Amino acid sequence: MKRALYYLLVAFYSHIALGQDTLVVRQDTFPSSIQTEYLTNSVKFTPVIRPLVPIPGGRQAYYTYLWDFGDGQFSTQESPEHQYEEPGEYDVSLYIVNNYDNGPRPKKPKTKVKVESKLASADKLPNIFERNFFKSNEVFQLFKNANAVPGEDMSLIVGVKPSAPKGKILVLTNEKLINPNGFVVANQSRYHNENILSVERKRELESLWANVTHTSITQSGSPDYGIREELNFTGNEAARFFNSLLDEYNTVTQYEIEGDVGDSQFSIINLDITPEMLADTNAIVTVTGIYLAEGGNPVIHKLDVPIIKSHDPNKMSVRPALLDYRLQFKKKTLTYKVQFQNDGEGDAKNIRLEMFFPNQVDVNTFRLLNLYPQCDTCLTDQDLGCYTYQIKDDDKIIFHFRGIALPGTASPTITDQDSTKGFIRFTLKSHKKLQNKALPSYTNIYFDKNDPIRTNTSTARFRPGLSPIITLGLNAPAKHPNDEIGKLTKGLTIGLGLAPIAPYNKPYWQVELYASTFGVDYAASFADRKGEIQLPNERGDLMYYGYSGLDSSATKKYLSLQVPVQIRYNISRYISAGVGALVKTNVNLQNDQQVTYHLINAGGERTEHTVNRNAEKEKISPLLLAPLVDLNIGRTYLGPAFGIRYHFDKTYKSNLNFYLMWRL
């Protein structure tokens, strides 16, 4: 009855948590603990944790384990036996990960064990975890106990077989390209007297590469990829390579080690995964480790870590998860990984992956990088222990492992969890012209004749940003309320703007700052106006002259400062429209007046005399609010386009602006 009630409560809270768009991290209330049993020359540890809560209709749920025995040694068995080399008191911890489970992640239980002299054994052999650790290379490797789930934590085991008595290890986390603050180092073990160093500036590490002539690079992602690369350096090539590698990361953890040559050392680094990592779910981040033996050449190991929402070992990931839309000079290369795990008792013989991609990705560019189980392509339809793949339509690739033997996690003979996992890594290229919208993909996984398992939706997307806009055009006010005495003249317009970069299928804001010039020419004739005006004669004496009429004119130049704000919509790649309003004020730059008098001299002759006057400039006008409509024709997402804008204000009525623009 209690167990049924527990299942009911867990399922209820699971339903609430899974229905939220925001991050909800459920807490386990079960009192997890560790049972210890002292054997003849070892200690046996057994976990006491909450029962698994299978997902209705889902696959068999199970736990994976990482034991920290408190002496610098570890195990991934469920109930391991461990021999201690030295007597003493040790703190034992267990890191648990739940798979296909509908309940919260179990709490990390801890216990203390007291090892007496009769239990200690200096001649003990490495356990299964340690024997299988160095798969990628025989010197240095990283291991993760879980994938990155935002709001939880994960543990990183750093293993090294020193090739010199002293050396340094660097662990690089938080790739700038993905999420520069996704991992936070919580703590690190010091079982082997590791000397943890602070790194204030990455350039301080340049001295490490001064004498480097060679490096080897391996990569894994549970299981191992089988990738190994050898690089030779001359001159300053090593410094440039390692500085470039460090520049890709936001966090560097550095520590010194000492030990006997060839004697394995293991350190555990606990990482908290920030909730901000949720934005990059279904992407792959890489943690890079560098081991530099004193007087030797460095060894590099890269560990791929998928960012996921739940602990499901069947998943699809893509890298890079963030693309730069501005750099569309060539087709983008996307690296995909589909990983799977057999959770049954028997071997899986046939595994089929049906992968679906968006139309922005060209499935005909499929190129296989590596796979596990390792096998060759099938040459005939009868071949077994091999793989085939075929491209269906424009959005589907079917990859088939045929006649293999992938063991199941429930098999009683399994000692290495990685042997139950498989994967394929491959690249696809995008089409050159991409829309600025997400690129979602997913996979249906078929194990033998079982119903398919659908993975998460793995999404590559473009990095959000702003697009600067430059405009240059002709300002043409169309009408003045007093046309009989005034005429508006054309001017130039220059402007700067900001808008989201290349938005597709949705309205967006655009704000600008404009500076426009225009003029007003006034002219009036007063033929019947008579009077006298004092003017100098030929000798310079002032005399009064009569006039029978006069003409008056004025020229005014203005600078109009405008702040347009509008909502736009890209109708297609070549047409864009907007509606909004602008606030503007006019600054009087020039105010010239001219009066021409029609004079009559004593002899009755008519002459003209013109007087130029520099009138005082007008004050800056009050703010004017004017509605506007705008149309762009050309490259409406990025690049050049032609624009027409109309706005109306109460002083100058209709205003037109014809301009050329460029979205950067």
Burial class, 236, CB count within 10 angstroms (exposed 0-12 / middle 13-18 / buried 19+): exposed
For 207, the token pair is: 């001295």
Calpha distance 75→65 (Å, rounded): 8
If you search the block for the tokens 């009036």, which residue do you land on?
524
Q: Note every long-range contact of 227-236, with CB atoms under 8 Å and residues 24 or more positions apart, other chains counting.
A: 227/136, 227/370, 228/136, 228/137
Pairing of strands 458-462, 322-323: parallel
Which residues, in sequence order, are bridge partners of residue 542? 536
Q: Topology of 317-462 in CATH? A: Immunoglobulin-like (2.60.40)
Predicted local confidence at residue 255, as pLDDT: 93
What is the per-residue pLDDT across 273-326, written as a single tens digit (0 to 9) for each?
Answer: 998 887 777 788 899 999 999 989 999 999 998 888 877 888 999 988 888 887
Half-sphere exposure in the Cβ direction for 581 (13 Å, CA): 7
Q: Topology of 135-311 in CATH? A: Immunoglobulin-like (2.60.40)
Mean pLDDT by 10 residues, the chain (664 residues): 39 38 65 91 92 77 91 91 90 91 86 85 76 88 90 92 93 86 91 85 78 92 82 90 91 91 92 85 88 93 88 86 75 90 87 94 94 91 92 92 88 75 92 84 92 89 87 76 61 90 88 87 78 75 76 83 93 91 88 80 73 78 89 90 89 84 90
Predicted local confidence at residue 156, as pLDDT: 95
* 487 contacts: CB under 8 Å, gap ≥ 6: 480, 520, 521, 522, 523
Q: Topology of 466-663 in CATH? A: Porin (2.40.160)
Longest dimension (CA), the chain: 143
The pair phi, psi for residue 191, each rounded to 5°, is -65, -25
What 3-state class would DSSP assign to 585?
A: strand
How far apart are the two ends of the chain, measured CA to CA in Å?
Answer: 66
Number of neighbouring beta carbons within 10 Å of residue 443: 26
For 105, the token pair is: 């992640």
Predicted local confidence at residue 14, as pLDDT: 38
Predicted local confidence at residue 480, as pLDDT: 52
Q: Which CATH superfamily is domain 1-131 in?
A: Immunoglobulins (2.60.40.10)
What 3-state class would DSSP assign to 270?
A: strand
Number of neighbouring beta carbons within 10 Å of residue 143: 24
For 95, the token pair is: 């890191």
Closest CA to 194 of 272, 286, 87, 269: 269
Buried b (16+ CB within 10 A) or exposed e, 320-349: bbbbebeebeebbebbbbbbbbbbbeeebe
Q: Note every long-range contact of 8-16, with CB atoms under 8 Å and residues 24 or more positions apart, other chains counting.
A: 10/53, 10/102, 10/103, 10/104, 11/53, 11/102, 13/104, 14/53, 14/102, 14/103
Calpha distance 159→138 (Å, rounded): 10
Calpha distance 47→108 (Å, rounded): 10
* 602 contacts: CB under 8 Å, gap ≥ 6: none
Predicted local confidence at residue 8, as pLDDT: 38
Chain centre distance of CA 343: 33
Closest CA to 347 of 451, 420, 454, 422: 420
Predicted local confidence at residue 278, as pLDDT: 77
Are domains 317-462 and 466-663 of this chain identical in fold?
no
49 contacts 67 by C-beta, under 8 angstroms = no
What is the per-residue pLDDT across 594-634, written as a single tens digit (0 to 9) for each?
Answer: 888 787 776 667 777 777 777 777 788 888 888 999 999 99
**For the chain, domain boundaries:** 1-131, 135-311, 317-462, 466-663
In this structure, is the dihedral angle defined by the CA atoms of residues 613, 616, 617 and 622, taken in order, positive or negative? negative
The residue type found at 564 is P
Rg (alpha carbons) of the chain, rounded to whole number: 38
Calpha distance 349→243 (Å, rounded): 46
Closest CA to 552 of 521, 519, 588: 521
Calpha distance 31→39 (Å, rounded): 26
Closest CA to 634 of 571, 579, 575: 575
